[in-house]
């Protein structure tokens, strides 16, 4: 069994829980997820099966889309609704739609973020949440992330009250913390804030409408129709150029030989070689030999 299963992860489960259950449902051990979703977050979690586990990192690195509820008025230690409140300002607030959209525009593009203390980022060999659970604060590395788009989802023209919430759709790149983005929105508005809820609606080329829950996957597997859910591993490689190869280049690529650099690799990190539209190898520029390329991944069984 090989392919990518677009799973809808439900609230209350970890990504590892999903993998554990799918191994039992599908009867195979070669199952891997494509990036951790917190237990209180639901949404798209592509699952790689069999040979497709080799492309999991490319889905993890691909763009994501979320719908988040931003709450202005209180901040928490975890930056989401599960944490203890650490700051509060419930004084009356009033913004026009245009004022909020201006703030969202300021956070679009490349922005700087500091990962939350309750996160899996490693500092000095330990994950930040390990420090946080012991009440220890450590200096966290700043990172640059890319926000492609933030869209205010409701139609109100005026936002007013003691604690204001609104939904946004966020399209972003790898490494973005939406809870931190919620805090940043609050900072620009001048108040403490946190992320009240989060749903991931897309991961790479896999969207909400493509997904099935664990219960649905189990039913489809028991009906003997699981192959209908699996997407080809090539769907994880759509961000990279692809070249259909013919003999004699095919044999050289299929054997993983170091080759002269293909022209299409000049302006990209990776190049996918296919045969009959099936990926047979991913090549990259040779790290030490200029003008040459070498295999990054091989798919000998993808026929």
DSSP H helices in the chain: 15-26, 56-61, 97-106, 128-133, 178-189, 214-222, 249-254
CA distance from start to end of the chain? 13
In this structure, is the dihedral angle defined by the CA atoms of residues 176, 182, 185 and 187, taken in order, positive or negative?
A: negative
User: In Å, what is the CA distance from 209 to each residue of 17, 26, 59, 215, 217?
Assistant: 22, 22, 17, 16, 14
* Per annotation, catalytic residue among 2, 17, 38, 154: 38
Pair 60, 4: CB distance under 8 Å: no
Q: What gap in Å lies between CA 283 and CA 274, rounded to an integer? A: 11
- To the query of whether residue 157 is one of the catalytic residues in this protein, the response is no
- Give backbone dihedrals phi and psi of 147, rounded to 5 degrees, phi first: -105, 110
Please report where in the chains the tokens 């936002």 appear, as a residue.
159
Q: Which residues are catalytic?
A: 38
């Amino acid at each position: 069994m090989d392919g990518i299963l677009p799973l809808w992860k439900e609230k209350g489960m970890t990504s590892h829980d999903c993998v554990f259950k799918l191994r039992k449902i599908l009867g195979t051990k070669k199952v891997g997820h494509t990036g951790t979703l917190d237990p209180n977050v639901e949404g798209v979690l592509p699952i790689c099966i069999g040979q497709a586990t080799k492309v999991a990192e490319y889905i993890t690195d691909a763009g994501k889309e979320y719908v988040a509820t931003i709450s202005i008025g209180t901040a928490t230690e975890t930056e989401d609704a599960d944490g203890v409140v650490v700051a509060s300002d419930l004084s009356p607030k009033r913004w026009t739609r245009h004022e909020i959209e201006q703030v969202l525009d300021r956070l679009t593009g490349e922005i700087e973020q500091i990962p939350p203390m309750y996160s899996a980022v490693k500092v000095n060999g330990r994950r930040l949440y390990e420090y946080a659970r012991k009440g220890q604060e450590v200096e966290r590395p700043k990172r640059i992330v890319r926000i492609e788009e933030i869209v205010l989802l409701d139609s109100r023209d005026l936002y007013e009250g003691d604690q204001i919430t609104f939904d946004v759709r966020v399209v972003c790149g790898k490494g973005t913390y939406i809870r931190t983005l919620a805090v940043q929105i609050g900072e620009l508005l001048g108040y403490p804030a946190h992320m009240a809820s989060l749903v991931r609606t897309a991961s790479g080329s896999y969207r909400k409408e493509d997904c099935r829950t664990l219960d649905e996957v189990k039913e489809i597997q028991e009906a003997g129709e699981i192959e209908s859910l699996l997407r080809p591993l090539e769907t994880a490689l759509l961000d990279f150029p692809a070249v259909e190869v013919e003999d004699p280049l095919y044999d050289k690529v299929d054997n993983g030989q170091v080759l002269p650099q293909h022209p299409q690799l000049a302006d990209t990190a990776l190049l996918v070689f296919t045969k009959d539209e099936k990926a047979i190898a991913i090549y990259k520029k040779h790290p030490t030999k200029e003008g040459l390329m070498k295999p990054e991944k091989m798919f000998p069984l993808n026929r």
